Amino acid sequence: MRILVVEDERKIADFVKKGLKEAGYAVDVAADGEQGHFLAGTNDYDVIVLDVMLPKMDGMEFCRNIRKEKNPAPVIMLTAKDDVQDKVTGLDAGADDYLTKPFAFEELLARIRAVLRKKSGGVPTQLAVEDLALDLLSHKVFRAGKDIELTTKEYALLEYLMRNSGQVITRTMISEHVWDISFSTDTNVIDVYINYLRRKIDDGHKKKLIHTIRGRGYSLKA
């Protein structure tokens, strides 16, 4: 899952980015509304975390603009204002949720999970393909009931593959959802991480789940 954070207060932006990356998300950060609007129109984001008071283009205008452009990414607005009318204005502008500063980071994570469930029509808290299971809350992964230890990036890659099980996932799709904007597509990092997952997920099992689709990408399927 890839998240765009649009926040001009550096300390808050760094805090949110660090926490989201530790939770397994790929994160891009924009320091003003215009930069955020450009990134939102250029990249495919699963969630946008948006401050209301921004230079160059405020959060309300940002939100109205991306909705006019038919951008479906869920938006969670952040603001120091807790006035009901401000929240109504934000929701009417196209936001999906509204969080007042200061906030507990765990609450932000919970709200991100909530808008993702809504976006996907009520995604369960666990993903499963054959005997492979991934718990979205605890971030635990099991194959045939055996616990599998994954790094944060391995987990993020596996979650993306499992959310799209049975489909062919290209390297470009993986880079856009699992890595951030600084990722270089000229490296073989994706192939390396796929091999890491294969060793942990498939080795020792007769039925292989991670498949290479020659010339196209990868697919996780029974």
- For the chain, the three-class secondary structure string (H helix, E strand, C coil) is CEEEEECCCHHHHHHHHHHHHHCCCEEEEECCHHHHHHHHHHCCCCEEEEECCCCCCCHHHHHHHHHHCCCCCCEEEEECCCCHHHHHHHHHCCCCEEEECCCCHHHHHHHHHHHHHHHCCCCCCEEEECCEEEECCCCCEEECCEEECCCHHHHHHHHHHHHCCCCCECHHHHHHHHCCCCCCCCCCHHHHHHHHHHHHHCCCCCCCCEEEECCCEEEECC
Residue 74 maps to which CATH number?
3.40.50.2300
In a shared domain, residues 62 and 45: yes
| Residue 93: Cβ within 10 Å count | 21
99 lies in the same domain as 145? no
CA of residue 201 relative to chain centroid, distance: 22
Pair 32, 39: CB distance under 8 Å: no
Residue 99, pLDDT above cutoff 60 = yes
For the CA atoms of 42, 47, 52, 53, what is the dihedral angle to 10 degrees? Answer: -50
Domain end marker among 95, 119, 143: 119
Q: Do 52 and 158 share a domain, yes or no?
A: no
Backbone angles phi, psi at 172, to 5 degrees: -65, -45
Q: What is the pLDDT of residues 165-216, one digit of tens each?
A: 999 999 888 887 888 767 776 788 999 999 999 999 999 899 999 999 988 8
For residues 98 and 132, state if they share a domain: no
Kindly tell me if the per-residue pLDDT of 218 is higher than 80. yes
The span from the CA of 134 to the CA of 107, in Å, is 22
**CB 71 within 8 Å of CB 40:** yes
Q: Could you give the number of structural domains in the chain?
A: 2
- Count the neighbouring beta carbons within 10 Å of the beta carbon of residue 131: 14
In this structure, the answer to whether residues 114 and 191 fall within a common structural domain is no
Structural domain containing residue 66: 2-119
Same domain, 45 and 106: yes
Residues 16, 103 share a domain: yes
CA 50 – CA 105 distance, rounded (Å): 15
**Which of 84, 119, 154 lies at the terminal end of a domain, its last residue?**
119
- Indicate if 11 and 52 belong to the same structural domain: yes
Q: How confident is the model at residue 44 (pLDDT cuts 50, 70, 90)?
A: confident
pLDDT band for 123, please (50, 70, 90 cuts): low
Q: Kindly indicate the confidence band of residue 81, based on its pLDDT and cuts at 50, 70 and 90.
A: confident
Q: Mark which of 77, 101, 119 sits at the end of a domain.
A: 119
User: What CATH number does residue 134 fall under?
Assistant: 1.10.10.10
CA-to-CA distance for 98 and 213, rounded, in angstroms? 41
pLDDT of 122 strictly over 60: no
Based on the domain organization, do 209 and 139 belong to the same domain? yes
Percent of the chain predicted with pLDDT > 90:
57
